[in-house]
Amino acid sequence: MKVIIKNKFFSLGGSSSVKDEKGENVFFVKGRLFSPTHVKWVCDKDKHKLYKVRNKWFNFINERAYVYEGRTKVARVKHPLFGGKKFIIEGYKDEIIIDGDFFSAKSTIMRNGKPVGTINREFSVVNDTFSLEAEANDMPFMIALVIAIDNIFDKITKTK
C-alpha cells in the first residue's frame, strides 16, 4: 500500500492529510493547538484515534519522540547523536531501524533486518510531503513513525 502524507499548509495544530494513490483520504493526522511536545494523533478515516505521537519534553543529548497506542507507550523513536542518517525505534515488539537520508530523498524501513517499507520525501517550499509504502496492516504504525521523525526534525531545525 502507498500513501501520501502531506502537512497542511495552514494548520494551527500541525495536522496532515493521508491519502492513497487515488487521492482518497485513508487516514488523518490531527495536531493539538499549543502543545509544547507537538502531540499529534494518527486517526482512521472515521477519525478514531489509533496512535498518539509526541516529542520528549526535554532532550539533552539526542532528540526523541514517543508513539502511544491508547495510554500505552509502544515505541520510542530516537535519532542518535552520532547516528548519522539512522533513526532507531526502541521498545517495539520488533527491531525497527529507518535508514537513509530521511530529509532529502529516500529511507528504508527495516524490521528485524528485512526491508518492509520505504519513505520518500517530496520537495516543496510550502509544506512537507512524504510518500510511504508499507503493508496495509502496518500502515497506521508506519504513519506514526513518519510523524514522529518529522516532529524530531522540526525540533532539530528550530533549535539551530
**CATH number, span 2-159:** 2.40.160.200
- The residue extents of the domains of the chain are 2-159
- Taken in order 148, 150, 154, 157, the sign of the CA dihedral is positive
Residues 6+ away with beta carbon under 8 Å from 34: none
Please tell me whether the overall predicted TM-score, pTM, comes out greater than 0.95 for this model. Answer: no
Beta-carbon contacts of residue 160 (< 8 Å; ≥ 6 apart): none
Specify the range with the lowest mean pLDDT, choosing from 8-12, 64-68, 97-101. Answer: 8-12
Q: Could you tell me the end-to-end alpha-carbon distance of the chain, in angstroms, rounded to an integer?
A: 36
Residues in Cβ contact with 137 at an 8 Å cutoff, skipping those fewer than 6 apart = none
pLDDT tens, residue by residue, 79-101: 876 656 788 899 999 999 998 87
The strand pairing partners of 132, in sequence order, are 3, 119
pLDDT bucket at 11, cuts 50 / 70 / 90: low
Checking if the pLDDT of 10 tops 60, the result is no
- Per-residue pLDDT reduced to its tens digit, 107-159: 999 999 999 999 998 766 667 789 999 999 999 999 999 999 888 877 666 65
